[in-house]
A and B are shown apart, each in its own frame.
Chain A
């Protein structure tokens, strides 16, 4: 079944509230999927800086002395440990070095996502526990997406949780199931994409990343997904400055959207939106099947 939520802020005064609002939205959707939960928050960019979110099955060993070990390897970075995850902030030009270095000095850690602004936190467990574990409520940002999972196509593991990130500042959450993901994965591997799981949603994320790498914007990549992905899907997708929604032509996976002068919000159900400020006067609608919706901070400016 799965529950997905998204919130794209237009009003800067709400940015300190992003983590709090998104947490409540996700927790309301708990009974749509109790297996695992995750959240991606976009915020806190600084000129020339980049962020990597990593996860470890053994955080006390992997994160202990990590900043020092990185410095010894020639990379100056700040490391913030949050439970099983750590966010590493560094000079953007060092991002590729960092990946290689991490593979060498911390081979067991897994990359959740990287980019200028995204931080991704996901674990097995209920949304309320995942949100508390990572202190999501205190996070500020410009936009974010969340997912609570009822697993169908692959195992209940941390890496099988959503959001999936396959490119810088890109991530995706999915409600549904794809039927051509194995074939598409083979084609994407041939194009040079790498995969961490057997999950169908990761293929959708990688597909969008590959299409955007060819020069498409998010809206164009989502339009392509309607032709190239077979199965049931409601996707909510984030990029550094944008936020998109698309449903397959059958549109049996639920979706409700709300827009005010302050935000655009997405929920699998209206229940997820009822605590948002001004929801009583928001324009609330169900996104049309096979129709791409997307908003972009840069393009709106």
Chain B
């Protein structure tokens, strides 16, 4: 198992080694120690490798992940798992701003809290936050699921498209065109699956409320013509 100590190894060596992996490679378990808040740790993974990061990371950890499983045993700075394509990213601590931004697929699990703009412009990623999320989360979310066991900050789901939002606690306020929606059997089923994949136990899907788009904003409405 390759171990990269970022206190004495340049970050580029780690990321180059991850990018050099080919399908069927034997070294599929990487460990990163002493990340000390480094930026861009394990970005651009494109194979089913497992990476354990022992400590807290800075900006853009596991960005663009395509098929890897990255676990951060600490907290993550802004933009963790930004534009993830597939795979799994788990943050054992908290995540800063815009976690999972623009993500197209895969699963992002944050075991602590996430700050503002979590899941902004999400396009297919599934995000499960064990704690609470900050303001403007899921802004312009297009598809995918955002599941929050705690509370959501101001303007949740502002200008939302078709991302589905599930919040168990309080929502401080909903953004423009975001409304509470009926929880139907297919939603409970999806929620059950996501909670299980995110390692959540002792929480029933019925405890959540579902929020989605009122669909009044994202199609052109002739009555609003004067506003342009």
Contact = CB atoms under 8 A, between A and B. Distances in A.
Contacts of A254: 77-78, 96-97
B97 A270 contact: no
A252 B97 contact: yes
A80 B97 CA distance: 45
Contacts of B36: 271, 274
B75 A271 contact: no
A284 B59 CA distance: 16
Q: Would you call the interface of chain A mostly helix, strand, loop, or mixed?
A: loop
Contact of B58 (A270, A284, A289): A270
A272 B94 CA distance: 17
Interface residues of B, number: 16
| Interface size range on A against B | 10 to 19
B115 to A, nearest CB: 5
B42 to A, nearest CB: 17
Given A251-B116, A254-B78, A269 B37 contact: yes
Interface string A230-255: 00000000000000000001011010
B94 A270 contact: no
A273 B74 CA distance: 14
A272 B36 CA distance: 9
B37 A271 contact: yes
A289 B36 CA distance: 25
B181 to A, nearest CB: 27
Contact of B38 (A252, A271, A285, A289): A271
A11 interface: no
B56 interface: yes
A286 B115 contact: yes
B134 interface: yes
- Most A CB contacts (10 A, CB to CB) among B37, B77, B97 go to B37
B164 interface: no
Interface in B21-49: 36-38
Contacts of B96: 254, 256, 286
A257 to B, nearest CB: 12
A251 B155 CA distance: 14
A270 B116 contact: no
B120 to A, nearest CB: 11
A286 B97 CA distance: 9
B135 interface: yes
Contacts of A272: 37
Contacts of A288: 134
Contacts of A249: 135
19 contacts: A252-B97, A252-B116, A254-B96, A269-B37, A269-B59, A270-B56, A270-B58, A271-B37, A271-B38, A271-B58, A272-B37, A274-B36, A284-B75, A285-B94, A286-B96, A288-B134, A289-B116, A289-B134, A289-B135
Interface of A: 249, 251-252, 254, 256, 269-274, 284-286, 288-289
Closest 5 A/B residue pairs (Cβ)? A271-B37, A270-B37, A274-B36, A286-B115, A270-B56
